[in-house]
Amino acid sequence: MDSKKYKKFYEVEFHGKLSFSPISFETIKGDSFYAELKKFITDFNLEDKKVLEIGSGNGKFQDIIDDYTGIDISENLKNLYHKPFFTIESEKKYPFVDNSFDAIFTNTVFEHIPDIDNALNEMLRVLKPSGLILFKPAWQVRPWASGGYAVKKYKDLDLKGRLVKLSIILRNNILFRLSYVVPKRIYLMVKFLLNRESMNRLAYKKLCPNYDEFLIADSDACNHIDPYAAILWFMANNCEVLNYPTLLKAFFVRTGSLVIRKSVKAAIVV
């Protein structure tokens, strides 16, 4: 991965070309993530806690809580913040000491981080023991997203591109997807039960992101993440996934957020 190209894309092509301006607290109520985030804060009494947002973008959620800190890759976003904001590098340590935050939230970010293993470990490092995470990537980004095949016309594609576009109908079919998702999840569950420590690295698929043009949502994604694999990773790293407390319930996860508590060594319930 070309780190310079990656950083330039978000600073110039993505964030740089969007019309960012400070957003009032009232306007964020229409955001699809707002209600979920607000419930997370209320349910766990986080109103007066120290909270970090990873991939904070234009800082639209910075006033949802008093003691807020945001981090993102784009330095040109800092003028949109009146609360602490830090610029980070994908492969570097976060600029915080261990056990800094009571809670962390992140929305549609981790599918875009090239060194996802580092980012996950850093997230846990800066979270206090018994701290909470609201974790919501765009799960299972399709490998054809980078080519923009869903929006391109057949006449504009070569033969290979036309075949890829034609295959999307089949590859998006739920029965087709189950045919490979279910065996993979069975394999991951057995591996986890036999050797929990073997799952302390996330099982995910690398994608080829498009940093030349922003064609459709997630055309710049570089990770295909199965939420079940993420649940097993958090469990293997001494966390409790509160909304999926058993392996059986987790097995049927499709999408949505994970609510995680760090360093709660609960018994594995099948």
Residues 113-140: b if buried by 16+ CB within 10 A, e if exposed: bbbbebbbbbbbebbbeebbbbbbbbbb
pLDDT of residue 1: 57
Per-residue pLDDT 10s for the chain (270 aa) are 567 788 788 877 676 655 555 566 666 877 889 999 999 999 999 999 999 999 999 899 999 999 999 999 988 888 889 999 999 876 689 999 999 999 999 999 999 999 999 999 999 999 999 999 999 999 999 999 999 998 999 999 999 999 999 999 999 999 999 999 999 999 999 999 999 988 889 999 999 999 988 888 899 999 999 999 999 999 999 999 999 999 999 999 999 999 999 985 644 555
Q: Which CATH class is domain 3-146+197-262?
A: alpha beta
Rg, Å, the chain Cα set: 19
Locate the domains of the chain by residue range: 3-146+197-262
Q: Starting at the earlier edge strand, list the strands of the sheet with 67-72.
A: 85-87, 67-72, 50-54, 101-107, 127-136, 258-262, 239-241
The token pair at 61 is 């959620």
pLDDT of residue 223: 97
pLDDT of residue 54: 97
The set of residues, in sequence order, having a beta carbon less than 8 Å from that of 66 and lying 6+ positions away, is: 47, 48
pLDDT of residue 91: 67
CA dihedral 161, 9, 64, 37 (to 10 degrees): 30
Q: Find, among 101, 102, 118, 98, the residue nearest to 110 by Cα.
A: 118
pLDDT of residue 17: 58
The token pair at 123 is 């997230």
Residue type, 213: E
Q: Under a CB-based contact definition with an 8 Å cutoff, are residues 34 and 105 in contact?
A: no
